[in-house]
Amino acid sequence: MTRDQKAPVCVLGTGLIGGSLLRAAAGAGFDAWGYNRSEPGAQAARADGFDVTGDLLGVLTRAADTDATIVVAVPMPAVDHILTEVSAFAPRCTLTDVVSVKAPVAAAVHKHGLSTRYVGGHPMAGTSESGWAATDPGLFRGAAWAVGVDEGTPPEPWTRVVRLALACGSVVVPVVADEHDSAVARISHLPHVLAEALAIAGDGGGELALGLAAGSFRDGTRVAGTAPGLVRAICEPNSAALLATLDDTLTVLAAARDSLRETGSLADLVDAGFAARQRYETAQRWEITGVHPGEQDWLGQLREAGRRGGVITSLD
């Protein structure tokens, strides 16, 4: 990656994901700075040597003056306010995000007239912790980073966003917004819901159950340790896809309950679950090559490759 490919990076929101991105980008040689609404959070970042402030206007003015890539890293409920300010003070900057849903963000971007410079993004990484203190520059290393290839995605901003994701250590998965949201409902948002339910079930067993709980309970409830407001901000904006996934899951659980009651067996559930886990363990990523942004049907080629498990590990 040459020096001119490292456009400055402006991160709006320096919690776990945004702050880790800021750290990773700075570590990769990008000129990077950020905004955080919470002054204690901004102070903590500055104490660690990072350029973070609560002055949103100043941050966006600097982004506009330097043609920075702006990364929206706030929860979905705060996105509209942030985009209002971006559209007023830095409308020509390349714009991406790390929000856990893509279609609602794209709709908000369109409403604010920012679509011509926008490329959706979502790094599939995180922990149950939050805030600057939880940030880690290695958080994205080896992780899948979804990058939008929806119709009309602009090639130059797309290339910028992909280069940033790769520089942070991720592999890039090309996705369409609606398909992304359906997928993460199953592998990210449903696990939050199930973890909460499992935690409640364990707690319902009283001190004895909690005292006996070990690895499977700990691992299954890990994300239930995430701040409740953040879990709601992650899951609720994807309600339609999550409801469909919950319906599917409740059907599976109801069938298992009925089988256990009527025959004493969980064989169908356990066998299908084991096979599904094996498919996950053995799933192979393959490298997408020979597709160049701006060429004929480049978006279509990337969409199809992403659906088939292809990832981008480098750009020509």
Instruction: Provide the pLDDT for residue 5.
Output: 73
Tell me the per-residue pLDDT of 282-296, one tens digit each, with 9 for 90 and over. 998 999 999 999 999
Closest CA to 222 of 183, 243, 190, 195: 195
Average pLDDT over residues 153-167: 97
Say which amino acid occupies 199: A
Encoded tokens for 65: 């003056």
pLDDT reading at 25 higher than 90: yes
Other C-beta atoms lying within 10 Å of the C-beta of residue 150: 21
- CA torsion 165-171-177-178 (nearest 10°) is -160
Instruction: Provide the pLDDT for residue 128.
Output: 73
At a CB cut-off of 8 Å and minimum separation 6, what does 175 contact?
102, 120, 146, 147, 148, 149, 183, 303, 306
Instruction: Provide the pLDDT for residue 129.
Output: 81
**φ and ψ at 56, to 5 degrees?**
-65, -40
Task: Tell me the whole-structure pTM to 2 decimals.
Answer: 0.92
Instruction: Provide the pLDDT for residue 2.
Output: 37
Instruction: Provide the pLDDT for residue 3.
Output: 40
> Cα–Cα distance between 193 and 216 in angstroms, integer?
16
- Can you name the residues that pair with 146 across neighbouring β-strands? 122, 173
> Cα–Cα distance between 106 and 223 in angstroms, integer?
27
pLDDT reading at 127 higher than 50: yes
CB 150 within 8 A of CB 106: yes
Q: Are strands 121-123 and 69-72 parallel, antiparallel or unpaired?
A: unpaired
pLDDT reading at 1 higher than 70: no
Encoded tokens for 155: 């090639």
Encoded tokens for 97: 């995000």
The rounded Cα 12 to chain-centroid distance in angstroms is: 15
pLDDT reading at 221 higher than 70: yes
Instruction: Provide the pLDDT for residue 316.
Output: 74
Instruction: Provide the pLDDT for residue 250.
Output: 98
Tell me the per-residue pLDDT of 175-201, one tens digit each, with 9 for 90 and over. 999 999 999 999 999 999 999 999 999
Tell me the per-residue pLDDT of 42-95, one tens digit each, with 9 for 90 and over. 999 999 999 999 999 999 999 999 999 999 999 999 999 999 999 999 999 999
Which of residues 1 and 259 earns the better pLDDT score? 259
CB 54 within 8 A of CB 45: no
Say which amino acid occupies 246: L
